[in-house]
Amino acid sequence: MRTRRIFLILSGFAALAALMPSSVWAQAGQDANFIKDVGDRLVGIVNGSGTEAEKRPHLQQVVDSSVDVDGIARFCLGRFWRDATPEQQQQYVQLFHEVLLNNIMGHLGEYRGVRFTINHSERRGEGEVVNTTVTRPGQAPADVNWVVANVNGSPRIVDVIAEGTSLRLTQRSDYASYLARNGNNVQALISAMRRQVQQQQTG
């Protein structure tokens, strides 16, 4: 009896051990599915009919529900986030949302006919990196990694790494350099972003 019980316990552990990697694997699969879902929705909007003005709210909905824009905004301000007053933080994040959406809208035309395939995903640092190949007509296929992290209990895109270049790192160095050349004044950055949004709106 005794050996039998030990055997049962041991086999229980073995079963657990066998389950562990598969649950990790299930997590990876979930994030790949999440990116597949988000990607399909984006491709649907980009390639779908309708004017840019009609597409904007749909795009905004996809971005708001799948991208951790607030987190990326904080990351891009770096050490200046702490220097900013609560009002400045709020203005900045709001402008960041608009700038991001405008930038995506600006690329809508070039991405017509876009397709993507999911290759593999792996755990790296803070999140799951889902590797995809993005193909658009007349362009070489691009290698794009989507970094997915768990933000308040749901998967969110926290970075996009296109051909080895991280979008949020690039944006952060842009802002850092602008701040360095404008007396490290967060208000100057906010004004510049506001001008940018106004320019993008007028054409």
Partner 1 sequence: MRPLMNHILPIAFLLGLLAGCAKQPPASEPEALEEYRQTNDPLEPTNRVFYAINDKLDTYILRPVAVGYRKVVPERVRTGVHNVLQNLATPIRLADDMAQGRPRRAGDTTMRFLINTTVGVVGIFDFAKNWGYPAHDSDAGMAFALWGIPAGPFLFLPVLGPSSPRDAAGFGTDIVLDPFTWLGQGAATTAFGWSRYVTSAVDERSRHIDDVDSIKKTALDPYATFRSLYRQHRESQIRNAAEDHRATVPVWFAQPAR
Q: List interacting residues with partner 1 (CB under 8 A).
A: 79, 99, 103, 106-107, 110, 138, 140, 163-166, 169-170, 173-178, 180-181, 184, 189, 192-193, 196
> Measured from the CB atom, is 33 or 88 closer to partner 1?
88
Give, to the nearest 10 degrees, the angle between helix 69-77 and helix 167-180.
40
Q: What's the min distance (Å) between Cβ of 192 and partner 1?
A: 5
> Measured from the CB atom, is 95 or 157 closer to partner 1?
95
Q: What are phi and psi of 43, to 5 degrees?
A: -60, -40
> Measured from the CB atom, is 21 or 109 closer to partner 1?
109
For the chain, report the end-to-end CA distance as a whole number of angstroms: 81
Q: Residue 110 and residue 112: Cα distance in Å, rounded?
A: 6
Q: What's the min distance (Å) between Cβ of 99 and partner 1?
A: 8
> Measured from the CB atom, is 45 or 179 closer to partner 1?
179
Which two three-digit tokens encode residue 176? Answer: 């850092």
> Measured from the CB atom, is 116 or 175 closer to partner 1?
175
CA 162, 164, 168, 173 dihedral sign is: negative
Query: Which residue, 57, 45, 28, is CA-closest to 146?
Result: 28
Is the CB of residue 157 less than 8 Å from the CB of residue 144?
A: no
Q: What's the min distance (Å) between Cβ of 128 and partner 1?
A: 19
Q: What's the min distance (Å) between Cβ of 162 and partner 1?
A: 10
> Measured from the CB atom, is 60 or 191 closer to partner 1?
191
Q: What's the min distance (Å) between Cβ of 84 and partner 1?
A: 14
Q: Residue 110 and residue 184: Cα distance in Å, rounded?
A: 35
Q: What's the min distance (Å) between Cβ of 200 and partner 1?
A: 9
User: Exposed/middle/buried for 160, CB within 10 Å: 0-12, 13-18, 19+?
Assistant: middle
Is the CB of residue 168 less than 8 Å from the CB of residue 73?
A: no
